[in-house]
């Protein structure tokens, strides 16, 4: 799916708002999805225009890829980000795609390509609020997952490798229901924060959609 260049100068804010509201309403997505959550929504996301300004194309396509990712449409997200491998935000989507596919080694490669992404500070602040104040070692979950959650609560900067490792332990080795719920909540914060960050870039250029 090659994203087409549109002839409009800004995104359809109402469409972006509607898509984002639908995705927020679904709750926390699975760590490793088995299929696209909402095929109709996926078709709407695919219609997001790229705009005419060449220097904004990467941000608009990154937004479409991030929304596909949130909709569990991993293949559609992957096809977009492969066209923008020079752009850290698309590389971040690329990394999360592979993590959600269960390809953890490839995910870590793309996280290295990203470096310290500007969305990470906000994500860490929200993760600390979610995880802080809980003794995870007292929750009866696998000690490796309890240790990872405790580390994520206390760390100063978001560590995508630690989160990927925790997801790998959960999905490949443990299958702990309590840990799964927490990890899915963290992933939701990650997806929401990524879309929020990209929209912020587009709003600065007068092309943004959802303003949450």
Q: Please report how many Cα atoms fall inside a 13 Å half-sphere around the Cα of residue 208, on the Cβ side.
A: 15
In a domain, 144, yes or no: yes
- Count CB neighbours of 144 within 10 A: 15
Q: How far apart are the first and last CA of the chain?
A: 28
pLDDT confidence band for 54 (50 / 70 / 90): low
Secondary structure (3-state) at 118: coil
Matching residue, tokens 């799964």: 180
Q: Which domain holds residue 133?
A: 13-204
Residue 204: the pLDDT is 79
Q: What is the pLDDT of residues 106-127, one digit of tens each?
A: 999 999 999 999 999 999 999 9
Q: What is the pLDDT of residues 164-181, one digit of tens each?
A: 999 999 998 878 898 999
Mean pLDDT of the chain: 89
Distance CA 151, CA 144 (A): 11
In a domain, 1, yes or no: no
Distance CA 161, CA 151 (A): 12
Query: Percent helix, strand, coil in the chain (nearest 5)?
Result: 70, 0, 30
Number of domains in the chain: 1
In a domain, 96, yes or no: yes
In a domain, 34, yes or no: yes
Least confident interval from 36-50, 110-124, 127-141: 36-50
Task: Average the pLDDT over 5-25 and give the result.
Answer: 76
Q: Are 111 and 164 in contact (CB under 8 A)?
A: yes
Q: Are 144 and 169 in contact (CB under 8 A)?
A: yes
């Amino acid at each position: 799916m090659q994203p087409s260049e549109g002839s409009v100068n800004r995104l359809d804010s109402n469409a972006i708002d509607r898509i984002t509201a639908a995705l927020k309403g679904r709750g926390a997505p699975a760590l490793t999805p088995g299929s696209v959550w909402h095929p109709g929504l996926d078709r709407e996301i695919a219609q997001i225009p790229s705009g005419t300004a060449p220097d904004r194309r990467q941000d608009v396509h990154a937004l479409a890829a991030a929304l596909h990712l949130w909709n569990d449409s991993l293949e559609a997200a992957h096809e977009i980000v492969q066209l923008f491998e020079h752009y850290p935000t698309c590389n971040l989507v690329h990394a999360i795609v592979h993590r959600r596919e269960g390809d953890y080694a490839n995910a870590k490669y793309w996280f290295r390509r990203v470096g310290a992404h500007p969305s990470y500070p906000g994500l860490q602040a929200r993760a600390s609020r979610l995880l802080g104040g809980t003794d995870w070692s007292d929750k009866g979950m696998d000690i490796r997952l309890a240790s990872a959650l405790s580390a994520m609560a206390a760390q100063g900067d978001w560590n995508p490798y630690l989160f990927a490792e925790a997801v790998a332990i959960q999905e490949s080795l443990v299958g702990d229901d309590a840990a799964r719920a927490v990890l899915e909540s963290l992933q939701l914060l990650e997806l929401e924060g990524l879309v929020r960050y990209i929209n912020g870039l587009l709003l600065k250029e007068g092309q943004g959609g959802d303003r949450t």
